[in-house]
Amino acid sequence: MSKPVFQTHDLTKIYRTGDVEVRALNGVNITLYEGEMTVLLGPSGSGKSTFLNIVGGLDRATSGTVRFKDMELTSCSERQLTQYRRNHVGFVFQFYNLIPSLTAWENVAMVTEIARAPMAPDEALAMVGLENRQTHFPAQMSGGEQQRVAIARAIAKRPEVLLCDEPTGALDSKTGILVLEALDKINRELGTTTAIITHNAGIQAIAHRVVSFMDGSISQTHANATRIQPAEVVW
Amino acid sequence: MAMLDLKLLRDLGRLWAQGLAIALVMACGVSTIIISVGAYRSLEETQSAFYERYRFGTVFASAVRAPRHLKSRIEHIAGVTAADLRIVQPVLIDVAGMREPASGLAVSVPDFEEASVNQLYLRYGRLPEESRKNEVAVVETFANAHGFRLGDSFDAIMNGRKQKLLIVGIVLSPEFIYAIGPGDMVPDPRRFGVFFMSFKKLSGLFDLEGAFNSLSLTTLRNADTRIIVDELDDILKPYGGSGAYDRKDQVSHAFLDSELDQLRAMSSVIPPIFLLVAAFLVNMILSRLITLDREQIGLLKALGYGNVAIGGHFAKLVVVIALVGLLIGSLSGFWLGRGLTRLYATFYSFPFLIFRHSIDLYLLAGGVTVAAALAGAAKAIWTVVILPPAVAMRPPAPTTYRSFFVGQLQRLGIFSQLSIMAFRHLIRWPVRTLLTTLGTSLSVALLITSLFSYDSIDYMIDAIFFRADRQDASMTFVSDQGLDAISAVASMPGILRVEPFRQTAVTLRNAHREKRMAIVGLAEDTDLSRVLDLDLNPVSPTSSGVILSERVAEILHLKPGMQVEVELLERDKRTALLTVTGLAQSYVGLTAYMRDDALDQLLRDGRRISGVRVSIDSNEMDDLYEAIKQTPMVASIALQGISRVRLRETVEENITTMTAVYVILAIIITFGVIYNSARIQLSERARELASLRVFGFTRSEVSSVLMIELGLIVLFAQPLGWVIGYLLSWSVVQGFENDIFRIPLIIKIATYALASLIVTGAALVSALIVRGRVDRLDLIRVLKTRE
């Protein structure tokens, strides 16, 4: 059995807007393991993004705990969370979030400049198959290419975990598959613990384990006995 | 309330800080318009009202002794409406309790009739009469400086005799609105006083019965004064006429005119700067607002709102900001304008001050401000109007950046990716970057333009009082004296060194250009009062030829080596040709210098002197003052030390007030430009900056992107501001230059540095305010929304 990376205990998040109280997470208990690829499924508002934001150090829990290896994230200061994101976590978002004024290479280099033991930007871009797109600006690339740059940027620092929020949400099936192939390759070759949020149930078959969210709680988890290749995903 | 207006109110509520920053810049424009145009109008109106009601002369002349029967000849010159033949004599005044002698001017008033020219405004009491003994009316400033009331008296040395003068009236004269004593550069009412006496009385005291030595004319509005001046010169020629001159060369009038010129220059330079910056700021925030509102605008159009309604909606936003600016500017303009008027009241001697706050001035300021704001908004509004609704509802195309620094350079690792982000963003919006830089540089320029006067005045004081006129005092004699006057002065107590000078009134002429002034004759070894060349090195007058001050050479288009025609006004207008042997630096008056023996030769009456410059043992000052008060031949005395202190005091008082105002104005511009620029960048790049935070960049690293951009703008604004500041200062100096006074353009390095420091400080504060917002970026919300 591989070592646990994330362990949550009774993780709860309540948003208050005016008089309205929304329970986004309601006592979530889960453990994610080293090298594991997990797909988080669930309808809008089921709490999967909130979960990802909290384990990624972007948001704070209302109650409960999150442990990243030996580190208690829920008791970290703002500064410590920044360092945590900087050194341990790679993020991939639905809308890529590339810096429009930097080229593909520079977008990756931006992260490697501040990381502790990064790979070269060229190497990261090669891993996602974009070695020929280094000097292109985001506005000069397709959505799939932009998302692969975002993945290269996320993995260039050799993070322990890669957190992806709807990475294929804005893409068509063909480019979506290219993105999933890149994520799968990184998970296999670097052993990066990967969590992918998706609406697309077809994607679950590429994961080691599938976690379903419903109304702020985990409704079900199951392990895939056999995983399929991203190219075989039915969109 | 219409829904669009409700949206307007909410937009204003959201944008209040940026709106206020712009409104403040506009307010500066409005208040400078109100102050400068208002002060200009007030001063001009006061001046012309005083001149007109009290019949200020248009032509002036003086002679040694001319018979009064010339009156009808003079009055018959074509265009002359009235002539006042009078006596004007410099005198020494001895006021009880005042150590040093004061200088005074005794002026006659007609007996048994009202003066036809230069009438007096009677503040208290009555005009002096002939029948009683030594009655005088004194000018108000002199009376105030000494606390004189009606019935008080003071002594004056008149024609060698000490006279006790009884004050029966306190008056103001259109001729002495700006009354300046011998050797002074600013008025000092304590040491210089003008008083008026009965003509008959004064002619008796100066042995001028049946004669006059000064005259003043009023003329028809369209009369050609040049012709009148020529005819007057012909009439007075046999009587030692020293050349008639037009009102524009009258000292008090010339000073007032140069003040008016300055105000006019101010009103045409300073307010446009603010309105330009305000227009740019309006353009900047409105363009951004429209980008953010793009989808809403599309929706409104889809719902059936017309272009006019939508364009009008944004125009209203701009007009509201302009109106706030107008209100703040009008109030501060009114308040500062009143302050400036009070300053005038202490400086110029008017019987009344008309401070006009006419509605049209505010309408003008308001119209100009709203127009500038709308001009700035025009392009942004136009882009809304032309956008088809379907296009507007789609998000705008992503921003494309130019390939700058792409390739090997980035791998050198000189610049971090964060710096490259900043550079690219600056270059992506070149017009905006340029205008932001220009706006900031205008603050620097404005500061230099206000601060440089300290440097210039310092330099001028050093040149005049420590390099050129180093004497402790100069005494001018009642009339030219023989050389024995030197030993008479030398034997006075406390006199260490005596240097004589001679001076004579001349008209210098080069072809059709001519100028009236004095030639001063100096000894070859003169050491106290020296002639300085253009680099401020002392030069000795040569045995022949004449040295001209730079301004004279400019007016007459003369260069060294050229010939100048000299018309001797006190010698029947005899003319001679002299070679210009050099140029001299001179900041006060128009002068030409010759060697004393050469001047004697030219005048053909042997060795004579007009006065002396002396250095004094300060321990014996009081004894010397007493002696001078008893010396009949001394007509006036100029005390350099007191003049210098007085100049510095006056200048510092005035400049310090002005500088404080300019510093505030510059800070407002800087704040308006930098704060708005930072806010817009933040709004445009919130998503980028939030992404950086997500990737683990610290708050200060993320802020550094904004700081680098603003820092570069502020950095490039400095040299640009120095250049613009130099040019503005140069134009101020040019505008100020007149025959009486000119200031050198001197800007010390420290002044450039101080201007930059103030602007950089203001920029830093504005940037730090925005930095607080970077720290509070909502990471999750920003990432979830698509720009």
Whole-number average pLDDT of chain A:
91
Q: Which two tokens stand for residue B498?
A: 């005596």
3-state class (DSSP) for residue A96? coil
Q: Is residue B732 domain-resident?
A: no
Nearest CA to A232 out of A173, A162, A186 is that of A173
Q: Is residue B485 domain-resident?
A: yes
Considering only B118-132, B443-457, B517-531, B642-656, which range has the smallest mean pLDDT? B642-656
Position B784 scores a pLDDT of 66
Nearest CA to A25 out of A57, A76, A60, A58 is that of A60
Q: Is residue A84 domain-resident?
A: yes
B contacts of A105 (beta carbons < 8 Å): 410
Determine the Cα–Cα distance for residues B171 and B178; give it in Å rounded to an integer: 14
Does B782 score more than 80 pLDDT?
A: no
Same structural domain, B485 and B603: yes
Determine the Cα–Cα distance for residues B528 and B379; give it in Å rounded to an integer: 66
Determine the Cα–Cα distance for residues B380 and B285; give it in Å rounded to an integer: 9
- Using CA of residue A129, residue A133, residue A137, residue A138, what is the dihedral sign? negative
Q: Is residue B345 domain-resident?
A: yes
Same structural domain, B606 and B557: yes
Does A1 score more than 60 pLDDT?
A: no
CB-CB under 8 Å, B688 with A99: yes
Does B277 score more than 70 pLDDT?
A: yes
CATH number at residue A83: 3.40.50.300
3-state class (DSSP) for residue B12? helix
Q: What is the mean pLDDT of residues B64-88?
A: 93
Chain B: closest CA distance from residue A169 (Å): 12
Give the residue numbers spanning the domain of A21. 4-95+161-232
Q: Which residues contact B487 (CB under 8 A, 6 or more apart)?
A: none
Tens digit of each residue's pLDDT (9 = 90 or more) over B205-243: 999 999 999 999 999 989 999 999 989 988 998 888 877
Cβ(A88)–Cβ(A159) under 8 Å?
yes
Q: Model confidence at B750, in pLDDT bands (50, 70, 90)? A: very high
- Number of H helices and E strands in chain A, helices first, is 6, 10
Does B435 score more than 50 pLDDT?
A: yes
Q: What is the separation, in whole angstroms, between the first and last Cα of chain A?
A: 32
Phi/psi for B676 (5° steps) reads -65, -40
Write out the residues of chain A at the interface with chain B, using a CB-CB cutoff of 8 A. Answer: 49, 53, 58-59, 79, 82-87, 89, 91, 93, 95, 97, 99-103, 105-107, 109-111, 113-114, 135, 137-140, 153
Q: Which amino acid is at B676?
A: N
Q: How many CA atoms lie within 13 A of B749 on its CB side?
A: 0
Q: What is the mean pLDDT of residues A46-56?
A: 92
CB-CB under 8 Å, A87 with B696: yes
CB-CB under 8 Å, B425 with A89: no
Q: What is the mean pLDDT of residues A2-11?
A: 93
**A185, containing H or E segment:** helix A173-190
Final residue before a domain boundary, out of B397, B426, B461: B397
- Using CA of residue A64, residue A68, residue A69, residue A70, what is the dihedral sign? negative
Does A120 score more than 90 pLDDT?
A: yes
Position B440 scores a pLDDT of 94
Neighbours of B222 (CB within 10 A): 6
CB-CB under 8 Å, A91 with B417: no
Does B629 score more than 90 pLDDT?
A: no
Cβ(A108)–Cβ(A149) under 8 Å?
yes
Same structural domain, B12 and B93: no
For residue B544, how far is the Cα from the chain centroid?
Answer: 38
CB-CB under 8 Å, A106 with B695: no
Determine the Cα–Cα distance for residues B57 and B74; give it in Å rounded to an integer: 14
CB-CB under 8 Å, B403 with A135: yes
Q: Is residue B726 domain-resident?
A: no
Phi/psi for B473 (5° steps) reads -155, 150
High-pLDDT (> 90) share of chain B, %: 40
Cβ(B722)–Cβ(B443) under 8 Å?
no
Q: What is the mean pLDDT of residues B749-757?
A: 96
Same structural domain, B624 and B477: yes
Same structural domain, B106 and B25: no
Does B357 score more than 70 pLDDT?
A: no
Q: What is the mean pLDDT of residues B324-334?
A: 92
Chain A: closest CA distance from residue B707 (Å): 16
Does B406 score more than 70 pLDDT?
A: no
Triad B443, B449, B450: Cα angle to 5° = 95
Chain B: closest CA distance from residue A103 (Å): 8
Q: Which two tokens stand for residue B708?
A: 């680098």
- Using CA of residue A124, residue A126, residue A128, residue A134, what is the dihedral sign? positive
Same structural domain, B147 and B267: no
Q: Is residue A133 domain-resident?
A: no
Same structural domain, B138 and B261: no
Q: Are strands B473-481 and B609-616 parallel, antiparallel or unpaired?
A: antiparallel
Q: Which of B404, B685, B695, B704 to mutate to test the interface with A (most CBs of A within 10 A)?
A: B695
Same structural domain, B510 and B627: yes
Same structural domain, B10 and B142: no
Position B508 scores a pLDDT of 92
Position A113 scores a pLDDT of 85
Tens digit of each residue's pLDDT (9 = 90 or more) over B617-628: 989 888 998 888
Residue B348 burial by Cβ neighbours in a 10 Å radius (0-12, 13-18, 19+): buried
Same structural domain, B118 and B51: no
Q: Are strands B88-94 and B102-109 parallel, antiparallel or unpaired?
A: antiparallel
Q: Which residues contact A17 (CB under 8 A, 6 or more apart)?
A: none
Q: Is residue B527 domain-resident?
A: yes
Place of tokens 């603050």: B443
Q: Is residue B663 domain-resident?
A: no
Q: Is residue A204 domain-resident?
A: yes
Cβ(B519)–Cβ(B576) under 8 Å?
no
Does B726 score more than 90 pLDDT?
A: yes
Q: Is residue A118 domain-resident?
A: no
Q: Which residues contact B147 (CB under 8 A, 6 or more apart)?
A: none
CB-CB under 8 Å, A86 with B696: yes
Write out the residues of chain B at the interface with chain A, using a CB-CB cutoff of 8 A. Answer: 397-401, 403, 406-407, 410, 416-418, 420-421, 424-425, 428, 687-688, 691-699, 701, 779-780, 783-784, 786
Q: What is the separation, in whole angstroms, between the first and last Cα of chain B?
A: 31
SS3 per-residue string spanning B262-327: HHHHHHHHHHHHHHHHHHHHHHHHHHHHHHHHHHHHHHHHHHCCCHHHHHHHHHHHHHHHHHHHHH
Q: What is the mean pLDDT of residues B164-192?
A: 90
Q: Is residue B619 domain-resident?
A: yes
Cβ(B621)–Cβ(B639) under 8 Å?
no
Considering only A6-20, A183-197, B229-243, B297-311, which range has the smallest mean pLDDT? B297-311
Higher model confidence: residue B181 or residue B329? B329
Same structural domain, B356 and B306: yes
Number of domains in chain A: 1
CB-CB under 8 Å, B400 with A102: no
Q: Is residue A25 domain-resident?
A: yes
Q: Is residue B5 domain-resident?
A: yes
Position B787 scores a pLDDT of 47
Same structural domain, B365 and B508: no
Determine the Cα–Cα distance for residues A206 and A202; give it in Å rounded to an integer: 9
pTM: 0.82
Q: Is residue A59 domain-resident?
A: yes
Determine the Cα–Cα distance for residues B450 and B659; give it in Å rounded to an integer: 6
Does B630 score more than 50 pLDDT?
A: yes
Nearest to B398 among A82, A83, A100 (CB): A100
Cβ(B562)–Cβ(B580) under 8 Å?
yes
Q: Model confidence at B765, in pLDDT bands (50, 70, 90)? A: very high
Final residue before a domain boundary, out of B643, B671, B700: B643
Give the residue numbers spanning the domain of B572. 469-643
Place of tokens 């401000």: B369
Final residue before a domain boundary, out of B380, B397, B414: B397
Q: Which of A96, A101, A125 to mutate to test the interface with B (most CBs of B within 10 A)?
A: A101
In terms of CA atoms, which chain A residue is nearest residue B698? A82
Q: Which two tokens stand for residue B660?
A: 């404080």
Does B438 score more than 60 pLDDT?
A: yes
ipTM of the complex: 0.83
Q: Model confidence at B363, in pLDDT bands (50, 70, 90)? A: confident
Determine the Cα–Cα distance for residues B106 and B92; give it in Å rounded to an integer: 10
Rg of chain B over all Cα atoms, to the nearest angstrom? 34
Q: Model confidence at B413, in pLDDT bands (50, 70, 90)? A: low
Residue A55 burial by Cβ neighbours in a 10 Å radius (0-12, 13-18, 19+): buried
Q: What is the mean pLDDT of residues A6-17?
A: 92
3-state class (DSSP) for residue A134? coil
Q: Is residue A18 domain-resident?
A: yes
Q: Is residue A90 domain-resident?
A: yes
**SS3 of chain B: helix, strand, coil, percent, to 5:** 55, 20, 25
